[in-house]
Structure 1
């Protein structure tokens, strides 16, 4: 048995598969002594584990002797190969494949150099090193110019740094399909609020509204400012007040803006709360 292939059972499963898959993909080969195709596939996997020199770990599990593990991975027949990475099954196949197809499988599951740099940039960002994260993402972009996730990562950092125009340009370079991605929708909403609210004079706007409660332009500008300042509840309250005053104003601008806030805050408990309030205001 080589340096990168292990016989695995319940005793070392946590160490080899669970912990190991936090670093590199772990390829689990479920096999049995009586299985002819298993005897064809296993040496191919062992050979490639040595050839790839630690880019993945091979975990060989005797399905007959480790039925609980086989059941955990919903093994229906063998050989069954499951690729695990960071807590998830990222790909799998059943039956014996020729070496060429196994190589294609491995190349598909291995993190690209750009993906590794993205992970490095994420760690730098979390540590507060935004300039370093952007530099690392620049390196990732050179390795994989077509990787749109790299551009989104960079746009998120630029938005955090209030470089709104640069962030918007990166988002504008994405394909139409990627424009619909949840991350992009949320980020674009954040940019829109930041750009529309950045010059606002809160005290002046509140004075205008106090003098003329139906000043919808002032209310909308104030709402955008509050959301841009992450004062989401206050901003949404202002938008709800607009809906109650005149829901059709400016082609339902208040309701549409409120929906943009919902996109921005996806998953936040405030969204469900204010969806109910909006529904009540519209009825």
Structure 2
């Protein structure tokens, strides 16, 4: 990753979402509302350096806040392995920079409108929003020194061009707030499902698969377990794969169904969802018998990984139906 120039010439036009002037105005209103809050509530708001953002909260959490502090957006997904490398770096730096920027995490599977609005081509993808204007920073995982360099350039640009310097946060206050939040009672969890998630996060894919299967044996309709099982199986299939060799094998042997399936798996893990679906639909179209059924079943499995309500899944299901019938 090469850090981008922080000039505003690369800004994405968000005028269709909200003009910068309006964002500033609403941010001032939000500041006034916070000032009227009790001190404890103000402190809690001040230490929210990392926030999960959805489409409903985008205006308040990103556009309005961007008039006070640079907002860095991390587009990610649970199944994306590079995201799991980058996100902890961004979260740690958000705490370290102590209010000079805010990190907004957006799950692309749950927020397709935002994914499309920003023109994201693959994940992880990192953008910034300053005074209602969006700036693409970089795509893909990157080592911490390069991420720091980009963030430093962003903060400098925000201060020089917009006079936005963020709000310093007391590290001890932030730590106390996190401890208080962690101490809040949590709803009871399914221990087997929790063990499956822990195994998946630890990279124990075989253990995760077995644990998710155990959950589904007792609860066949458990959607969380179905999603986790699909993710674990997908990651196990691509584990240790040489991407260049896999893609070359598929290009050299278009009729090799296994080779096409392997590339589709790599595409999905890399965030190229439409490419994965398109490849498998084409494979279904030009095959017959067992080969066609193999490609069809794999495509349905990938639908489960992405989620049945995802617009890309809905579109691909329609395309698959046209090919089959």
TM-score, normalised with respect to structure 2: 0.39
- The one of the two structures with greater contact order (alpha-carbon pairs below 8 A, sep at least 6) is 2
